[in-house]
Structure 1
Amino acid sequence: MVAKNGYAWWYVDALSDDGRQGITLIAFVGSVFSPYYALARRLGRAADPLDHCALNVALYGEKRKCWAMTERRRGAIRRDAREFVIGPSCIDWDGDALTFRIDEVTCPLPSRLRGTVRVYPSALTAETFALDAAGRHHWRPIAACSRVQVDFQAPTMRWLGGGYFDMNYGEAPLEDDFRGWEWSRAGTRTGTIVSYDTTARGSADSASLALRLDRTGAIDRLALPPRARLPSTGWRIARTAHSDAQSPPTVTRTLEDAPFYARSQVSASLFGESVDLVHESLSLDRFRMPIVQAMLPFRMPRW
């Protein structure tokens, strides 16, 4: 169950084995970045998260990027223990694989986005971690080591790669409790390293959480090397990443550059191993700005 004004999302990312393709999928109940959900909360009533669901699909090719994030109302949503239907798309779990059956339209330029993505976890992790001092926001790294099979008919593409699967859930809007955060995950020879660096609302100091998860699902807490500054994005979103002192991180490519959010592919070194990071920078101070809220419907239509 998701509380009024709350949220849950299931997140998958993957990079192809040849490093040339990438994908990110996020299924939202109570879309945390929805301007419509934010407006419903500002009107002073307890907003229904089931009336603000979306499947975000982002494909990253060498020459082309595709993006879709259409918000759906309660009447287009169906949820049970094994299936989550969001309009014409659905996600289901059969005990062995998480399958996304995608039928969406890209935005802002409309084109068909249709295909199937299957996530095969090497192990499942049940442990959850609070991201804030009050325990209102939680993160569960469900399957940090996964294989992902991508098969799209529109646009045409097929590939396999290493992937990652987690979920977040909370009982309050992110922007109420955080000014922002930086998150990254890196596939290593023995598993996956994940880090969160969060800045609480009303504070200038960051709190860090870093884990190593192996292919059996075992978890170890880590003390990562300090963060190093990366170039800001075109929208002036600040970026930093953990890397060994003798090997400063570098941005391989900026996958998403939005007014309040950036997703990047970063080359770094962790404990002497060269790694590729999937990296995210989130500014919730930016997200709250009226001008940003007015821009969001052009990328996030609602039906």
Structure 2
Amino acid sequence: MSDDGTRAISIIGFIGSVFSPWYRWSGRANPANHCCINVATYGRGGRWTMTDRGQEALRQTTDTFTVGPSHMHWDGTCLMVQINEVSVPHCDRVQGFVKIHPAGITQSEICLHERGSHIWRPFAPTADIEVNLNRSGWQWTGHGYFDANFGTAALEDDFSYWTWGRYPMPDGTACFYDVIRRDGSEDLSLSLQFDKAGAVQMLKPPSKTSFRRSLWAVRRETRADAGFVPRQTKMMLDAPFYCRAGVQTQINGHLTNGVHEALDLKRFASPLLKPMLAAKVPRRRAWRFGD
């Protein structure tokens, strides 16, 4: 998110694109055959790109992840993302780079399901970012975050609902994960405080507090001090099953603006939703790298 709060960007690299209808329709047999680098920009002139690509477009080394024309590279101190994608439905090109500079790297790895089928790895909860894209006004700096999720099962098979939030704090970052499991086993609630060096400790969980639903009526809740009602400060992504937004809350007396996500996986599991997603997630099977 930009320092002035007017712009934001989300970048997700997928192997086995969990939100791709093409991956689901394929029977999830070959994750590498459904890969992408999803880039979404929020604010004036914002764009959305999420092209599901075949395994010919995927290349990996110990420090570089490439999908077709875009790639991510870790140089030991900075994650550089080179972007060259086409937006939907505008059909114009989104090009440029984003640099993510972690304040520290955590050693935390957290299991989200008792079967071990979903793992959350918050690499850098506190980071600075530089954004430089080929659109007017899309050259800015701000605060960022870098994490990863790994799974061996479909999200909608194991979970019915979850919320996640990342909120800057004076000495680092607070993260909250609240998960409802589909099988009725014990739900998961995580409240974590990361300092700027990446050290983590459990945070006494503030109250789970509901706030206004999204435009698609996805229910939303996050953590907040007793008596404080969180509020949306910036709409980012509003879908029938998913909402990402800038949200203001209060944690231990500190007023903070962070990023919040709510995911209704009962809705996402509906087969009626997949054709709608196909319009936003085009499939490109063939790819050839230049010599």
TM-score by length of 1: 0.91
Instruction: After TM superposition, give the deviation of residue 254 of structure 1 in Å.
Output: 2.0
Q: 2:141 aligns to what SS in structure 1?
A: strand
Against the structure 1 CA distance between its residues 213 and 286, is the aligned structure 2 distance closer, same or farther, given a 3 Å change threshold? Answer: same
- For 1:240, give the aligned amino acid: E
1:21 pairs with 2:3: no
Task: Please give the alpha-carbon distance, in whole angstroms, between the structure 1 residues aligned to 2:178 and 2:187.
Answer: 6
Shift in Å, 1:216? 1.0
Note if 1:219 corresponds to 2:200: yes
Q: How far apart, in 2, do the equivalents of 1:58 and 1:102 lie?
A: 11
The 5-angstrom pairing of residues 1-303 of structure 1 reads 15-41=1-27, 47-61=29-43, 63-154=44-135, 157-203=138-184, 206-303=187-284
Distance 1:64 1:154, change over 3 A: closer
8 Å Cα contact 2:45-2:135 kept in structure 1 = no
In 2: Cα distance, 1:200 partner to 1:112 partner: 39
Unaligned runs of 5+ residues in structure 1 are 1-14
Counting matched residue pairs gives: 284
Letter in 2 for 1:38: R
Name the CA distance, whole Å, in 1 between partners of 2:195 and 2:173.
6
What SS class does the counterpart of residue 38 from structure 1 fall into? helix
Q: Distance in 2 between matches of 1:109 and 1:19?
A: 24
Give the superposition deviation at 1:155. Answer: 5.2
Distance in 2 separating the partners of 1:183 and 1:82: 27
Q: Alpha carbon RMSD of aligned pairs, Å?
A: 1.3
Shift of 1:156: 5.2
The one-letter code of the counterpart of 1:48 is: N
Mapped partners of 2:58, 2:186: distance in 1? 39
How far apart are residue 253 of structure 1 and its match?
2.5
Residue pair 2:211, 2:229 contacting (<8 A) in 1 also: no
Are the aligned partners of 1:115 and 1:154 in contact in 2 as well (CA < 8 Å)? no
Q: What's the TM-score, normalizing by structure 2?
A: 0.94
